[in-house]
Structure 1
């Protein structure tokens, strides 16, 4: 099959495709992504207009490789650090020791390389082994004799024995799911060196299992001291096998297209949740569990709805004896270049009215920027007085997450008075 044509589209930009470049199956896949709000597809007399949304990454279609590039926010050379930070991928994850710059193949190669490095480390340490039950046909008795199989299949002959054994093998689920992910990664990368390394490492892992089965196993995996060192490799494997969707972090259901798509708003929400939570711990704060009651709306045609901010922080008050709540919302918007929209002002005022004291209502917006951190405060007034204060905090994604965390801690501390 000839090489697929590469089409690059910037975040929120569009590109024209000839009618012959998309097959009926491609159109079905892209329509599914359109239904999820990831992109839009418009038919023209001469072909198709494809417009990208806030989704970046790689999408491999039958005749085209779509490379969706970010226009702002997290640059390529910092993406892996922020992605690992958002996913909570445990150390060791030496993202600073590799060249994580965005390559011509998009972000699929970055995640594949991250998983490859973790798998190589597992091989150096030795793959985990566990007892696996096997039914064998042996010339001598080893393990237990399967009497039923011996009598029904060998009819009393003793030249070969049906046995049941329990041997320590590497052919266990912890390893098999990685074998599957490595094979999937081989199909996504066009870098010859990376593809060769992935195939070499994949040969050292047990026979792969189907991707959907591997995903179900990964979602149900529980980590103990025996398999804790697999957590990082499994994190990247989930991202590859789900095509960019990670439970509660990056979801992208509704398409069977091969690729790696990162929903940037969802990624930014995950970054902000961890960033502000880590930032307030040294100052005596913590995040309120998500099960806490949200703001509810009742009486609308019998429908009751509830909503809450992305993060709700509990912080010590001025006298340290009384704690106060501070709602924080993540916005993947260019609030470094234009003012906060009216809808977001209304949303944050609702949060401040629902969670903070009436004499000092406050809320925080956190948005990405690439030219240094920023902090400004909006005061919303009415004829009856102040309705609330909205602090707009810009996080510099060119820095390391640890640096941004320290700066965010000082900002939130001052915001709390």
Structure 2
């Protein structure tokens, strides 16, 4: 990998680039990312102006290595813990990742190290073999004789036989996608030792023809007892091959970007979905869908009907024998630990509470990240005729472990429910 000039900026920050620093190929890739609302690229009199959106990660261009850092001060190791939690994947071992967690570009190296750890574990256990079909010409019969080819090409001669065989090999899709992902990770990492380990491990895996073919195979994969041990490795491979996008989790940035970029709002929504689902299960409840008949729909306006869907709907058991209560929850990737909740978000949560919560207890919840310890405050919205709604604002400390955060959310929701019932 050639040496690239490192350009660092944070979320929502901008930086200037000279005209010669971006090739026409770089401009095309950045414009694609601009269409996906990951960044903004403007042409100025002295060159280019690049502004990041709510996206973090690494993008390797022809002459520049772009590093976008999170606006929340969080260590690479802890970010990996939350990412693994959102993906429902095993957290990489500390001994495996600590060598790269303190580096300046440690984020991309950590994701590559997580894939490397899983692939090396598979090699120690032995790669899965599958039956692969082959067609060949042999002097003796092995497998099945291809009568059509034997008759049409050998004209009855039996000195060479057209045969079809099924041999057990490691050249199957379960292994090909990992070999492709390991090679893709080589363009992202900055640590030379990690790059050597990736290259060495990749040589033991077969490779797909293209990254797109590997992604299509990952979309088709179904896990059974035979390949369930591949699930974690495939999760990290999918993240790398999509450049940071995971199906139904993050925005697919394509395979030609040669980068690893995470859409932080989408990641935080995935974290909140699992956090609140875990918290609800601790209280004897569950999460429910907000689609179909349970959705909020606006009709009668120009165009197609619009819909309001909270990120999470929780069904929580009521006190004593009363019916379960429905609690709408919305994930906000905003610095609500430093400033007040915006009027737009208050209006949005009031709509959710009016649509889902009971009339005598119109409650809703905002969950946002913060660098300090957990925090909780209550917003009461009142009108001329009394209470319109109560919005619980929960700030989850990103320095904590996800399991501890889920427990705190459960205890906070239970306490608020008891106080409301009085």
2:323 paired with 1:317:
no
Report Cα offsets for 1:125-154 as digits up to 9, x if no partner. Answer: 111112121112223221112233234444
2:161 paired with 1:169:
no
Partner of 2:49: 49
2:62 paired with 1:62:
yes
Partner of 2:85: 85
Partner of 1:348: 349
My pick for the range that moved more, 187-196 or 263-272, is 187-196
- Number of residue pairs matched? 416
CA positional deviation for 1:261: 0.3
The answer to whether the Cα contact below 8 Å between 2:212 and 2:255 also exists between their aligned partners in 1 is no
Q: How much is the aligned-residue C-alpha RMSD, in angstroms?
A: 1.8
Hey, what's the Cα distance between the residues in 2 that align with 1:375 and 1:229? 40
Hey, what's the Cα distance between the residues in 1 that align with 2:108 and 2:408? 31
CA positional deviation for 1:354: 0.6
- Identify if the C-alpha distance between structure 1 residues 149 and 95 changes in structure 2 by more than 3 Å, giving closer, same or farther: farther
- Which SS does the other structure have where 1:50 is aligned? strand
How do 1:228-307 and structure 2 match up within 5 A?
Answer: 228-253=228-253, 256-292=256-292, 293-307=294-308
- Which SS does the other structure have where 2:335 is aligned? coil
CA positional deviation for 1:379: 0.5
Partner of 1:134: 134
Partner of 1:196: 196
The answer to whether the Cα contact below 8 Å between 1:287 and 1:314 also exists between their aligned partners in 2 is yes
The answer to whether the Cα contact below 8 Å between 1:139 and 1:159 also exists between their aligned partners in 2 is yes
Structure 1's unaligned 5+ residue stretches are none
Partner of 2:417: 416
CA positional deviation for 1:155: 4.4
- Identify if the C-alpha distance between structure 1 residues 153 and 193 changes in structure 2 by more than 3 Å, giving closer, same or farther: farther
Report Cα offsets for 1:327-386 as digits up to 9, x if no partner. Answer: 000000000000000000000010011101111101000000111000000001111111
2:406 paired with 1:378:
no
- Identify if the C-alpha distance between structure 1 residues 220 and 312 changes in structure 2 by more than 3 Å, giving closer, same or farther: same
Q: Which of 1 and 2 has higher RCO (CA within 8 Å, sep 6+)?
A: 1
- Identify if the C-alpha distance between structure 1 residues 66 and 311 changes in structure 2 by more than 3 Å, giving closer, same or farther: same
The answer to whether the Cα contact below 8 Å between 2:96 and 2:113 also exists between their aligned partners in 1 is no
CA positional deviation for 1:408: 1.2
2:9 paired with 1:9:
yes
CA positional deviation for 1:111: 1.0
With structure 1 as the length reference, what TM-score do the two structures score?
A: 0.95
The answer to whether the Cα contact below 8 Å between 1:280 and 1:413 also exists between their aligned partners in 2 is no
Hey, what's the Cα distance between the residues in 1 that align with 2:111 and 2:91? 15
Partner of 1:219: 219
Hey, what's the Cα distance between the residues in 2 that align with 1:43 and 1:396? 39
Hey, what's the Cα distance between the residues in 2 that align with 1:164 and 1:130? 16
The answer to whether the Cα contact below 8 Å between 1:78 and 1:398 also exists between their aligned partners in 2 is yes
